[in-house]
Amino acid sequence: MKYLIAGLGNIGNEYAHTRHNIGFDVLYAFVSKHGGQFVTDRLAYKAEVKWKGRTFICICPTTYMNLSGKAVKYWMDKEKIEIQNLLVVVDDLALPLEKLRLRAGGSDAGHNGLKDIQATLQTTEYAKLRFGIGNNYPKGRQADFVLSKWLKEEEPLIKLKIDKSVEAIEGFSTIGIAATMNQINNISFSL
């Protein structure tokens, strides 16, 4: 059983630990928990993790957000991973800060990284773990907001949601997407 887990974000220190890079942060937490280590590889930072008889190819594309599909397709093809074993972790402006949402398919919802993956794979039918980042920004300041760092008071909740996202990746591969969706989609996370 082999899985491709892709965390979306942008490379470079100026993007590290911003709202838009939460996909990277979730993958770093998952790989770290399971004793893996990222290396720079083709189109991505890549780590391979083995857990409960499963192999996880974890990638953080180095293509920048808007070309994420190139890295996802390359690693799916190289590792011969079926689309039902692909999970993309991504930030979501439309979701409140206290929410995570796992879906088996669905639209890109205007997210450029998902748009590129959808265009490259020619389908919307792959699993997405959406990490709510809230939308507390003035009109016209969306780009500034998604590229901003978490507020100090948000950090404990973000840490909790990163841990829950790691559990969701584990659940996706063991109990399946439907049962994992039931576990996380209706929860409002709080401290």
- Active centre residues (catalytic): 20
Query: Is the separation of the CB atoms in 48 and 93 below 8 Å?
Result: no
Yes or no: say if 14 and 21 are a contact pair by the CB < 8 Å rule. no
Going across the sheet that includes 44-51, the strands are 39-41, 44-51, 54-61, 2-7, 86-92, 127-132, 100-103
Tokens 């499963």 locate to: 54
- The helix (run of H) or strand (run of E) holding residue 160 is helix 155-174
With tokens 């996706």, the residue in question is: 172
Q: How many CB atoms lie within 10 A of CB 178?
A: 10
Distance CA 172, CA 164 (A): 12
